[in-house]
Amino acid sequence: MINQLNLTTIKTPAYILDEAALIRNLERVAEIKNRAGVTILLATKAFSMFSAFPLMRNYLDGTTASGYYEAKLGREEFGKQVHVYSPAFDSQEIEKILPIADHIYFNSPAQLNKFYEQSKHLSIGLRVNPELSLTETELYNPAAPNSRMGTIKRNIDEQTLAKIDGLHFHILCENMAEDSDSLIDFVEQNFCEWLEKMKWVNFGGGHFLNHPNYDREKLITRLLAFRSQFPHLEVILEPGGGIVYDTGYLVAEVLDIVENGKQIAILNTSATTHMPDVLEMPYRPPLYNSGEAAEKPYNYILAGKTCLTGDVIGEYSFDKPLAIGDKLIFTEMMQYTMVKNTTFNGMPLPDIGILRKNGEYEVIKSFDYQDFKNRLS
């Protein structure tokens, strides 16, 4: 766990997966899977650290991908079911996906009709927008007004339903069990006749299964009730962040401290390049051994080292003054970090490491100038 990290030996910045924490989370997810009798997939759009896949495949049924690259990674490194969805496929991508996918989800009847004949050997699904909005942040709300994600009910006819095996409803993003419950309720009440004709239903991702406020018993109870209503259906969930929530860290170092009304600590990491959801959600990432602004005696704004003015991580307080060279540990840093990071402004990519359950720290991958250069031309 976090108190086993020997900061003196860690080259920063570094993303560090906590193996013991991941096992804890996977055991919780496996309990849901086994007790409710459902299929649970890892959404690789949130977490694609494939060095962890050999461990994860012991608990999960496979992966879900947003396109060819993620699908290929899932097939090569996870090796179980591969499900693929995209708002739109092109012909070249479809040709690459067909040999490696088990399930394919189309976003519209037009896409379904275009690729139906060549995809018939797979299990085919259609993403449906149920027009139920449960996600507050519009940037992450698939059911927001005018959303491109999925097809609304009035645009789906019987000919379309006859071509598919399942329905895909993904409208959540870091939602608690009450919203998972509301989604299942809504689908059951409004799509009952369609469900009777299907082989499976996918309730998507965004179920924040390992958050301390998520009521997993509530979800299990609701899933069991749904399965009793539709015993012929396979029920699928595809969480990403909900699987790896609170399983790792981003360790950074204080490079300088400047004063401009408040004390500002400049770190060798960055919100915009290494933890972009801090700016996009936005949110203030937890920091080990710190407090809220002004909660403790010494207060600092923590900022990144890029030239983006808004590259600010948040305001934190500490029991003692920060010093140049201090190392700080941001937590909840596995989901949507490595998969979204960039080399903007020439920022080096952090190391990727694993804190083994025996307390040993192992660097899995380091990056250098070539990784920056090879993304350019």
> Quick one: which H or E segment has residue 80?
none
Distance CA 179, CA 152 (A): 20
| Mean pLDDT confidence for 146-174 | 98
Q: Give me 321's structure tokens.
A: 């003054």
Residue 299's DSSP bridge partners are 317
Predicted confidence band of residue 81 (pLDDT cuts 50, 70, 90)? very high
Closest by CA to 83, choosing from 242, 232, 203, is 203
Does the bond joining 13 to the residue before it have cis omega, within 30 degrees of 0? yes
Predicted local confidence at residue 229, as pLDDT? 98
Q: Which residues contact 218 (CB under 8 A, 6 or more apart)?
A: 177, 178, 180, 181
> What is the three-class DSSP state of 125?
strand
Does the bond joining 282 to the residue before it have cis omega, within 30 degrees of 0? yes
Q: Give me 61's structure tokens.
A: 């049924």
Which amino acid does the sequence have at 172?
L
Measured in residues, the chain has a length of 377
Percentage above 70 pLDDT, the chain: 100
Residue environment code for 274-296, b if the CB has 16+ CB neighbours within 10 A, otherwise e: bbbbbbeeeeebebeebeeeeee
| Phi and psi at residue 92, to the nearest 5° | -65, -40
> What is the three-class DSSP state of 129?
strand
Q: Determine the Cα angle at 24 with ends 176 and 35, to 5°.
A: 65
pLDDT, tens only, 272-302: 999 999 999 999 999 999 999 999 999 999 9
Q: Does residue 203 register a pLDDT over 90?
A: yes
Distance CA 17, CA 3 (A): 14
Distance CA 274, CA 16 (A): 13
Burial of 50 (0-12, 13-18, 19+ CB in 10 A): middle
Burial of 232 (0-12, 13-18, 19+ CB in 10 A): exposed
Distance CA 276, CA 128 (A): 28
Contact 7, 325 (CB under 8 A): no
| Mean pLDDT confidence for 117-134 | 97
Domains and CATH numbers, the chain: 2-16+248-333+341-373 (2.40.37.10), 37-244 (3.20.20.10)
Distance CA 132, CA 142 (A): 9
pLDDT, tens only, 295-321: 999 999 999 999 999 999 999 999 999
Q: Give me 121's structure tokens.
A: 């050997």
Q: Give me 4's structure tokens.
A: 């086993």
Predicted local confidence at residue 1, as pLDDT? 80
| Mean pLDDT confidence for 155-160 | 98
**Paired sense of beta strands 312-318 and 248-260, if any:** unpaired
Predicted local confidence at residue 311, as pLDDT? 98
Predicted local confidence at residue 3, as pLDDT? 85
Predicted confidence band of residue 190 (pLDDT cuts 50, 70, 90)? very high
Q: Give me 196's structure tokens.
A: 């009777």
The single residue listed with the structure tokens 């900022």 is 303
Predicted local confidence at residue 164, as pLDDT? 98
> What is the three-class DSSP state of 127?
strand
Closest by CA to 51, choosing from 366, 335, 364, is 364
Distance CA 166, CA 125 (A): 5
pLDDT, tens only, 22-76: 999 999 999 999 999 999 999 999 999 999 999 999 999 999 999 999 999 999 9
Contact 225, 192 (CB under 8 A): no
Q: Does residue 331 register a pLDDT over 90?
A: yes
Q: Does residue 204 register a pLDDT over 90?
A: yes
Contact 202, 170 (CB under 8 A): yes
Q: What is the largest CA-CA distance in the chain?
A: 67
Burial of 100 (0-12, 13-18, 19+ CB in 10 A): middle
Average pLDDT taken over every residue of the chain: 97
Name the more confident of 2 and 215: 215
> pTM of the entire structure?
0.96
